[in-house]
């Protein structure tokens, strides 16, 4: 069984877990969690060889801890069954880790019937708190994001002032651009096609589809994430809905200024999702990652929060030294 909504290629080494007569399909709402959360998993099963699973149980293992849960299969088709919901406490970690969750269906004799593996990204809950201590001005179309950023323990204002050290915005106006030009630093989270710098778009037919597209992030810019390039499922809720168009992504001299991107399509066409550049005397990090969107949701995405914190840290430090310059 292949769950194509996960948008991952399945290679031959995974076939033994997918091409089985009986199978367990864990439906996990998210693939990234704080280490003080509980994972809720809805279980579905396919029964071909054993029509009665009522006496079977489910054994789970996560980071050296495990348990056994009873299941209550309810037929939803000829060989399909809903097996209820289990809740698993997330493992405590000191740094971001990608942990394998193993679910094994066992019979009354504790013999394995089938098993399923799913990788979960676990982040330490303290990573949700701001490390940058400077004054941050937040200006957005909705106007509500300032309160969200303030909850992360940033010193937040909604207006530019002489005390502002860093600007976060999805809608820079003339005053904001002048402030950056004179030496300010701006995190520009581009959420629509109306960009004051390079245009933002979805590319063209040469981009191909998910089968031939891989995305990447610079690990040194996001030290508090667990980065596996190409990117995988834990980052799906923050993935960009557009790319920064017009950049020469094959120009070697600017390689260090491209902080995230994608190689897509059968022609392996590169596009950029995050770029750093100088604007007058100031510095800008522009990204199309859905960072604000991931924090607007009622269930805040941990990956979005950590990526946001890492970009603020990076932009506010001397590590941010763009070579690319946009003089306009």
Q: Where are the beta strands (DSSP E) in the chain?
A: 23-28, 32-34, 38-46, 57-62, 65-70, 74-75, 80-89, 97-106, 112-123, 135-139, 155-157, 166-169, 185-189, 200-201, 214-217, 243-244, 258-264, 269-279, 282-287
133 and 120 in a single domain? The answer is no
Could you tell me if residue 324 is inside a domain?
no
319-324 long-range Cβ contacts below 8 angstroms, 24+ apart = 320/185, 320/276, 320/283, 320/285, 322/257, 322/276, 322/277, 322/278, 322/283, 322/284, 323/253, 323/254, 323/256, 323/257, 324/254, 324/257, 324/275, 324/276, 324/277, 324/278
In the chain, pLDDT over 90 holds for what percent of residues?
48
**Pairwise CA distance, residues 270 & 265, whole Å:** 9
Of 124, 158, 181, the residue at which a domain comes to its end is 124
Could you tell me if residue 322 is inside a domain?
no
Of 124, 157, 186, the residue at which a domain comes to its end is 124
224 and 267 in a single domain? The answer is yes
117: Cβ contacts below 8 Å, ≥ 6 apart: 17, 100, 101, 102, 103
Highest mean pLDDT among 13-27, 32-46, 244-258: 32-46
Confidence of residue 212 (pLDDT cuts 50, 70, 90): low
Write out the residue range of the structural domain in which residue 17 sits. Answer: 4-124
161 and 251 in a single domain? The answer is yes
Could you tell me if residue 187 is inside a domain?
yes
Q: What is the pLDDT of residues 123-169, one digit of tens each?
A: 999 999 999 999 999 999 988 899 999 999 999 999 999 999 999 99
Compute the average pLDDT of residues 71-83. 71
26 and 120 in a single domain? The answer is yes
Question: What CATH number is associated with residue 101?
Answer: 2.60.40.10
Compute the average pLDDT of residues 5-20. 49
239 and 145 in a single domain? The answer is yes
206 and 161 in a single domain? The answer is yes
Identify which has the larger pLDDT, 75 or 116: 116
Of 90, 109, 124, the residue at which a domain comes to its end is 124
Domain count, the chain: 2
Q: Which pLDDT value is given to residue 106?
A: 87
Q: Cα-flanking dihedrals φ and ψ of residue 142, to 5°?
A: -75, -35
Question: What CATH number is associated with residue 180?
Answer: 3.40.50
Is pLDDT above 70 for 207?
Answer: no
Contact, 246 vs 324, CB < 8 A?
Answer: no
Rounded to two decimals, what is the model's pTM?
0.85
Could you tell me if residue 133 is inside a domain?
yes
Could you tell me if residue 326 is inside a domain?
no
138 and 241 in a single domain? The answer is yes
């Amino acid at each position: 069984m292949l769950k194509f909504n996960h948008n991952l290629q399945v290679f031959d080494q995974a076939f033994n877990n997918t091409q089985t007569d009986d199978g367990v399909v864990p439906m996990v709402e998210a693939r990234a969690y704080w280490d003080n959360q509980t994972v809720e998993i809805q279980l579905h099963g396919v029964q071909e060889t054993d029509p009665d699973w009522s006496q079977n149980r489910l054994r789970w293992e996560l980071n050296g801890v495990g348990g056994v849960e009873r299941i209550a299969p309810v037929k939803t088709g000829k060989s399909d069954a809903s097996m209820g919901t289990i809740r698993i406490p997330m493992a405590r970690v000191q740094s971001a880790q990608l942990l394998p969750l193993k679910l094994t269906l066992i019979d009354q004799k504790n013999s394995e019937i089938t098993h399923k593996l799913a990788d979960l990204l676990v982040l330490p809950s303290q990573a949700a708190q701001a490390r940058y201590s400077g004054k941050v001005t937040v200006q957005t179309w909705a106007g509500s994001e300032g309160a969200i950023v303030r909850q992360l323990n940033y010193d937040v204002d909604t207006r530019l002032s002489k005390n502002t050290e860093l600007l976060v915005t999805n809608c820079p106006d003339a005053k904001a651009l002048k402030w950056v030009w004179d030496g300010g630093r701006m995190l520009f989270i581009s959420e629509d096609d109306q960009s004051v710098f390079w245009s933002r778009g979805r590319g063209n037919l040469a981009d191909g589809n998910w089968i031939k597209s891989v995305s990447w992030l610079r690990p040194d810019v996001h030290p508090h994430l667990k980065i596996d390039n190409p990117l995988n499922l834990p980052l799906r809720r923050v993935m960009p809905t557009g790319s920064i168009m017009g950049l020469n992504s094959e120009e070697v001299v600017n390689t260090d200024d491209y902080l995230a991107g994608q190689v897509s399509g059968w022609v392996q066409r590169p596009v950029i999702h995050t770029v750093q550049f100088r604007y007058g005397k100031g510095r800008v990090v522009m990204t199309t990652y859905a960072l604000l969107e991931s924090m607007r949701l009622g269930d805040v995405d941990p990956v979005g929060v950590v990526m946001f914190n890492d970009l603020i840290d990076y932009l506010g430090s001397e590590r941010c030294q763009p070579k690319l310059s946009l003089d306009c």
